[in-house]
Amino acid sequence: MFDYLIVGAGFAGSVLAERLANDAGKKVLIIDKRNHIGGNAYDYYDDAGILIHKYGPHIFHTNSPEVFGYLSRFTQWRPYEHRVLTTVDGKLLPIPINLDTVNKLYNLNLTSEELEKFFDSIKEDVKNIRTSEDVVVSQVGRDLYEKFFRNYTRKQWGMDPSELDKMVTSRIPTRTNQDDRYFTDAHQAMPLHGYTRMFEKMITHPNIHVMLNTDYKAVKDIIPFKKMIFTGPVDEYFDYCYGKLPYRSLQFVHKTYDTREFQQVAVVNYPNEHEYTRITEYKHLTGQTHEKTSVTYEYPCWNSDPYYPVPKPENAELYQKYKSLADETPDVHFVGRLATYKYYNMDQVVAQALSTYSKITQHNLADIAVKRTNGWKSHLSA
Ligand SMILES: Cc1cc2nc3c(=O)[nH]c(=O)nc-3n(C[C@H](O)[C@H](O)[C@H](O)COP(=O)(O)OP(=O)(O)OC[C@H]3O[C@@H](n4cnc5c(N)ncnc54)[C@H](O)[C@@H]3O)c2cc1C
């Protein structure tokens, strides 16, 4: 009998397995329907011997010392600050938009103060900021919106930014200085030997058993367990009883080229041309030296693996219905990106899993206290 069945071997499932086995001494079985651990962060050496990310580039960044400290038990790190270029009007320009982006695009020589005034002169006055379009035009005006954001968002989401919640483009800052880093978090680094190696260290424990190529549906009535942690899609768990929660997906096309370097930085965005949105070259992320190089093209699509919850009010409402069902299912903890229908970064999922573990152990302590009190009461009454 397992104390916990954990569905999904991504960050959510693996962190909880590690804590439950290592800290609480529980016997845990992790299952995953894929043929590997690591969830969407899985990386592997391709046929050329280059370390690539199967599900697109995963760049680690966090402001949480707790999350960084926790993961550092399972990996050393390679310092890495992410930089992205985007192709606009035949030029390769830094994104998020900064001073250099504007100067190079329009052949100007503005200072930071002049750029602030420039933005003031071109930004649109939007009274009620609701959509992704509103966010951008109210900060940098229509021309920059159309060149950098509109078509990229249309490709990425299959929808016009005017139909999408403001949160999608609110994640991307606009800068008036020359800071061209994609993230500004206190901790930015890549696992020195890759994510999969880190996951292996995390879940290697005599109390943790792993079964791959195993769908929860196929084994849920066969495997004996006391409690469950479910990190798959919450609507799937409840047999889609209220309908399907929509996800945007991606097709990844991995290629190896016979050249040492394919592009200047790890990621180049293509907002206005091609069907793909971006190309990632992994050697920039991993620091690997190799005669050849491997890259991934991303083609957004519907009806494939669930990657991005679609941020629209009707979907949030639908999720709330599933959340109510989840809240009424006491022996199952729903954790992670798919089980809570949220766009979470890796560090946020680790934080969510660690906080779930604290709740579980407090709950266990409360259980023990109740049992002790009851035992004490029955002892008195006997
Ligand atoms: C293209 C892309 C790029 C990203 N880039 C970044 C980035 O740069 N930085 C960052 O911080 N985050 C990034 N993320 C987010 C990151 O992938 C997630 O935060 C993280 O992987 C979530 O972990 P999780 O355990 O919740 O889910 P997952 O990693 O999705 O793991 C869930 C697991 O559950 C399994 N599963 C589902 N249903 C079943 C079932 N019925 N039976 C058995 N197993 C099941 C799945 O196979 C999967 O392995 C990116 C995501 C995507 C899609």
For residue 62, give the ligand 1 atom closest to its CA. Answer: 11
State if residue 216 touches ligand 1 by the CB under 6 angstroms criterion. Answer: yes
pLDDT in tens, 86-120: 999 999 999 999 999 999 999 999 999 999 999 99
Domain of 25 in residue numbering reads as 2-76+189-245+309-359
Residues 108 and 154 in one domain: yes
Q: How far is the CA of 104 from the centre of ligand 1 (A)?
A: 37
For residue 13, give the ligand 1 atom closest to its CA. Answer: 25
Among protein residues, the one with the nearest Cα to ligand 1's atom 4 is 58
pLDDT at 165: 84
Q: Over the chain, what is the mean pLDDT?
A: 93
Residues 107 and 69 in one domain: no
pLDDT at 370: 53
Please list, residue by residue across 141-162, b when 16 or more beta carbons sit within 10 angstroms of its beta carbon and e when fewer do: beebbebbbbbbbbbbbeeebe
Q: How far is the CA of 43 from the centre of ligand 1 (A)?
A: 12
For residue 339, give the ligand 1 atom closest to its CA. Answer: 26
Residues 234 and 318 in one domain: yes
Q: How far is the CA of 254 from the centre of ligand 1 (A)?
A: 19
Residues 195 and 338 in one domain: yes
With respect to residue 316, please indicate whether it lies within any of the assigned structural domains. Answer: yes
pLDDT at 382: 30
Sheet holding 2-7, edge to edge: 208-211, 28-31, 2-7, 225-230, 332-334
Amino acid symbol at 34: R
State if residue 32 touches ligand 1 by the CB under 6 angstroms criterion. Answer: yes
pLDDT in tens, 250-261: 999 999 999 999
Tokens of 284: 């920039």
Residues 224 and 352 in one domain: yes
Number of domains in the chain: 2
For residue 42, give the ligand 1 atom closest to its CA. Answer: 29
State if residue 185 touches ligand 1 by the CB under 6 angstroms criterion. Answer: no
pLDDT at 379: 36
Residues 315 and 225 in one domain: yes
Mutate to test the pocket of ligand 1, among 64, 67, 183, 231 (most ligand atoms within 8 A of CB): 231
pLDDT at 239 exceeding the cut of 70: yes
pLDDT in tens, 12-50: 999 999 999 999 999 999 999 999 999 999 999 999 999
* Closest alpha carbon to 282 in 51, 112, 122, 29: 51
276 in Cβ contact with 254 (< 8 Å): no
State if residue 334 touches ligand 1 by the CB under 6 angstroms criterion. Answer: no
With respect to residue 15, please indicate whether it lies within any of the assigned structural domains. Answer: yes
Mutate to test the pocket of ligand 1, among 346, 348, 352 (most ligand atoms within 8 A of CB): 346
With respect to residue 373, please indicate whether it lies within any of the assigned structural domains. Answer: no
pLDDT band at 371 (very low <50, low <70, confident <90, very high): low
Lowest mean pLDDT among 169-173, 188-192, 252-256: 169-173
Residues 346 and 200 in one domain: yes
d(CA 85, CA 179): 13
Lowest mean pLDDT among 167-171, 256-260, 280-284: 167-171
Q: What percent of the chain has pLDDT over 70?
A: 95
With respect to residue 380, please indicate whether it lies within any of the assigned structural domains. Answer: no
With respect to residue 264, please indicate whether it lies within any of the assigned structural domains. Answer: no
State if residue 352 touches ligand 1 by the CB under 6 angstroms criterion. Answer: no
Residues 122 and 153 in one domain: yes
pLDDT at 312 exceeding the cut of 50: yes
pLDDT at 378: 37
User: Domain of 23: which CATH number?
Assistant: 3.40.50.720
Rounded to an integer, the average pLDDT of 115-131 is 93
With respect to residue 216, please indicate whether it lies within any of the assigned structural domains. Answer: yes
Residues 30 and 63 in one domain: yes
pLDDT at 376: 39
As a three-state string, the secondary structure of the chain is CEEEEEECCCHHHHHHHHHHHHCCCCCEEEECCCCCCCHHHCEEECCCCCEEECCCCCCCEECCHHHHHHHCCCCCEEECCCCEEEEECCEEEEECCCHHHHHHHHCCCCCHHHHHHHHHHHCCCCCCCCEHHHHHHHHHHHHHHHHHHHHHHHHHHCCCHHHCECHHHHCCCCCCCCCCCCCCCCEEEEECCCHHHHHHHHHCCCCEEEECCCCHHHHCCCCCEEEEEECCCHHHHCCCCCCCCCEEEEEEEEEEECCCCCCCCCEEECCCCCCCCEEEECHHHHCCCCCCEEEEEEEEECCCCCCEECCCHHHHHHHHHHHHHHHCCCCEEECCCCCCCCCCCHHHHHHHHHHHHHHHHHHHHHHHHHHHHHHHHHHHHC
State if residue 8 touches ligand 1 by the CB under 6 angstroms criterion. Answer: yes
With respect to residue 38, please indicate whether it lies within any of the assigned structural domains. Answer: yes
Rounded to an integer, the average pLDDT of 7-13 is 98
Residues 215 and 315 in one domain: yes
State if residue 187 touches ligand 1 by the CB under 6 angstroms criterion. Answer: no
Rounded to an integer, the average pLDDT of 218-231 is 94
Whole-prediction pTM value? 0.93
Q: What percent of the chain has pLDDT over 90?
A: 88
Residues 60 and 194 in one domain: yes
Residues 317 and 214 in one domain: yes
253 in Cβ contact with 271 (< 8 Å): no
Rounded to an integer, the average pLDDT of 282-294 is 98
pLDDT in tens, 68-93: 999 999 999 999 999 999 999 999 99
Rounded to an integer, the average pLDDT of 39-67 is 98
With respect to residue 273, please indicate whether it lies within any of the assigned structural domains. Answer: no
Q: How far is the CA of 219 from the centre of ligand 1 (A)?
A: 21
